[in-house]
């Protein structure tokens, strides 16, 4: 064989080898197997929550909450799920592999294998659930302006993503003045708040601040950050709450990101998040990540004591019972840390009661639940974002001096969760508006519809 030909073959071999090595490296780095496992875990968990906790039909849940997801569409031809009403499980798999199972535990919620609750946690959850009572039928408001406002909010657009609104509840001056529910949803139906759960974590932190057990501006009591030389040592509870910790915990819901791994594949989510490196100095840049909230969840657990059962009883005694929130469920990871980023359920009325506490600056019937000024604290704009601390805000201003969310009342702030879960608080109108549903048009989840609802109701009660 000519020498030149041998050289060409050698170069082709080296190029081929290099390409294979690069592809192998990309696969090892991106881990598509991990992303597929995340996908089936998400499907199983979503179906379990809406079918067994909220009581919706499996086909409806799949059509509303899973099939329209942009990242899920490519997987749909080979995605399969099965609901076992006897064992109370949901199994999801892709292409006969990457199987995930979520199990329903009455009074507690749903759990992937990494989140399986122990007997003491289930007992504490069932104690709370057994105290729940049946609420009165829905309040019907005959004011044409209110009726029209709710009708428009429920109406499906002529084109584009479906709204799939499940519930709207309106409080004015602390009184329930209007509500409407979709078929199969009732005043007592627990509905997953997704990231509205972060606002509940904020309330629990506030209670501990009022009790003198935590300081939002002190270094966060995370054991692995305790050494003064650790660059994460100076991260405060405030920075974790405001999403300015600087930790390298990207959240993009791709299945490849650290937060997806944390939420669906890790047993000890908070430890996984706390091990993240510091990417930028704390307090200098805003980046939304549920990893911050899981770390806060572990701090809640350790400060209250007693693991998951202790925190369940604390939340019930100090927050839920005083507010009359009787249909709340909280899920925990395998290390008994509250998954406060995404896994708290409550009925629409319960979510409204929670919002009213913030409208009243933490006061309830003359009793202080949250520290004085806490509502102003959580609604204060963080850097140049539209986030406060555990809540989103419109009280800040954009560079041109206008309010950030066009059309929303300037003093409004709100809890917000994936697929359009919202609690809007409007102090100037003494309004709390809850809007829950399965609206899959990220990243705003029918924000224009929400703004119109808030303005319509505001005009009606003015």
At residue 407, the 3 state secondary structure works out as coil
Chain centre to alpha carbon of residue 75: 24
Q: How far is CA 96 from CA 78, 80, 100, 114, in A?
A: 8, 8, 11, 21
* Dist. CA 461–CA 177, nearest whole Å: 10
Q: What per-residue confidence (pLDDT) applies to 449?
A: 94
Q: What is the pLDDT of residues 131-173, one digit of tens each?
A: 788 888 999 999 999 999 999 999 999 888 899 999 999 999 9
Query: Looking at residue 133, what is its pLDDT?
Result: 84
Which token pair is 154?
Answer: 């429920």
* Pairwise CA distance, residues 340 & 423, whole Å: 16
**Please, what CATH class does the domain formed by 179-225+306-461 belong to?**
alpha beta
Tokens of 79: 């995605």
Residue showing tokens 């399969």? 80
Is residue 372 within 8 Å of 363, Cβ to Cβ?
no
Adjacent-strand bridge partners of 433: 170, 424
Rounded Cα distance between 193 and 422, Å, is 8
Distance in Å from the first CA to the final CA of the chain: 92
**pLDDT of 441:** 85
Given a contact cutoff of 8 angstroms between Cβ atoms, the answer to whether 52 and 189 are in contact is no
Would you state the pLDDT for residue 407? 85
CA dist., res. 340 & res. 98, Å (int): 26
Alpha helices in 49-115 (DSSP H): 58-61
Please tell me whether residue 55 adopts helix, strand or coil conformation. coil
117, HSE (Cβ side, Cα atoms, 13 Å): 28
**SS3 labels along 350-367:** HHHHHHHHHHCCCEECCE
Ranges under pLDDT 50 in the chain: 4-29
pLDDT the model gives residue 131: 78
CA–CA dist 102, 49 (Å, integer): 9
What are the residue ranges spanned by the domains of the chain? 32-105, 179-225+306-461
Instruction: Supply the pLDDT for residue 400.
Output: 58
**Token duo for residue 215:** 């300081």
Dihedral (Cα; 441, 446, 448, 453), 10-degree rounding:
170
Give backbone dihedrals phi and psi of 252, rounded to 5 degrees, phi first. Answer: -130, 5
Looking at residue 129, what is its pLDDT? Answer: 84
Give me the torsion for CA of 287, 290, 293, 295, rounded to 10°.
-100
Look at the block and give the residue holding tokens 């609104």.
Answer: 165
Cα separations in angstroms, 398 against 375, 391, 393, 460 = 21, 17, 12, 28
Beta bridge partners of 88: none
Task: Tell me if 68 sits within 8 A of 161, measured CB to CB.
Answer: yes
Taking the C-alpha atoms of residue 458 and residue 356, their distance in angstroms, rounded to an integer, is 16
Q: What tokens appear for 106 in the block?
A: 């009455």
For residues 198 and 259, the answer to whether their CB atoms sit within 8 Å is no
């Amino acid at each position: 064989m000519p020498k030149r030909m041998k050289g060409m073959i050698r170069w082709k071999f080296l190029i081929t080898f290099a390409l294979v090595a690069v592809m192998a490296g990309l696969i090892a780095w991106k881990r598509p197997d991990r992303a597929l496992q995340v996908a089936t875990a998400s499907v199983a968990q979503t179906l379990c929550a809406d079918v067994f906790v909220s009581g919706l039909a499996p086909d409806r849940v799949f059509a509303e909450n899973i099939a329209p997801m942009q990242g899920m569409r490519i997987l749909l031809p080979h995605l399969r799920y099965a609901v076992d009403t006897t064992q109370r499980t949901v199994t999801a798999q892709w292409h006969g592999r990457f199987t995930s199972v979520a199990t329903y535990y009455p009074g507690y919620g749903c759990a992937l294998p990494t989140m399986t609750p122990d007997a003491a946690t289930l007992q504490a959850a069932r104690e709370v659930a057994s105290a729940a009572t049946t609420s009165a039928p829905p309040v019907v408001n005959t004011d044409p302006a209110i009726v029209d406002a709710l009708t428009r909010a429920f109406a499906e657009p002529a084109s584009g993503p479906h709204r799939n609104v499940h519930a709207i509840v309106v409080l004015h001056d602390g009184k329930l003045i209007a509500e409407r529910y979709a078929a199969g949803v009732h005043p007592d139906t627990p509905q997953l708040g997704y990231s509205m759960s972060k606002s509940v974590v904020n309330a629990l932190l506030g209670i501990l601040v009022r009790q003198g057990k935590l300081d939002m501006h002190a270094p966060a009591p995370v054991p692995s950050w305790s050494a003064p030389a650790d660059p994460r040592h100076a991260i405060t509870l405030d920075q974790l709450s405001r999403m300015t910790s600087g930790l390298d915990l990207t959240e993009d819901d791709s299945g490849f990101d650290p937060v997806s791994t944390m939420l669906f594949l890790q047993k000890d989510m908070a430890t996984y998040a706390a091990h993240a490196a510091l990417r930028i100095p704390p307090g200098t840049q805003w980046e939304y990540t549920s990893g911050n909230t899981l770390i806060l969840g572990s701090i809640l657990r350790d400060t209250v004591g007693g693991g998951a059962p202790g925190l369940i009883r604390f939340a019930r005694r100090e927050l839920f019972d005083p507010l009359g929130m009787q249909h709340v469920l909280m899920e925990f990871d395998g290390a008994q840390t509250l998954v406060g980023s995404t896994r708290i359920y409550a009925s629409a009325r319960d979510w409204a009661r929670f919002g009213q506490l913030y409208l009243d600056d933490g006061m309830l019937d003359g009793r202080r639940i949250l520290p004085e000024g806490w509502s102003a604290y959580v609604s204060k704009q963080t850097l140049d974002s539209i986030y406060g601390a555990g809540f989103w805000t419109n009280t800040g201003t954009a560079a041109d001096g206008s309010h950030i969310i066009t059309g929303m009342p300037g003093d409004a702030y709100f809890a917000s969760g994936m697929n359009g879960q919202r609690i809007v608080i409007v102090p100037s109108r003494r309004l709390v508006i809850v809007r829950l549903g399965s609206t899959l048009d990220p990243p705003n989840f029918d924000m224009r519809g929400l703004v119109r609802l808030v303005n319509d109701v505001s005009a009606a009660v003015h």
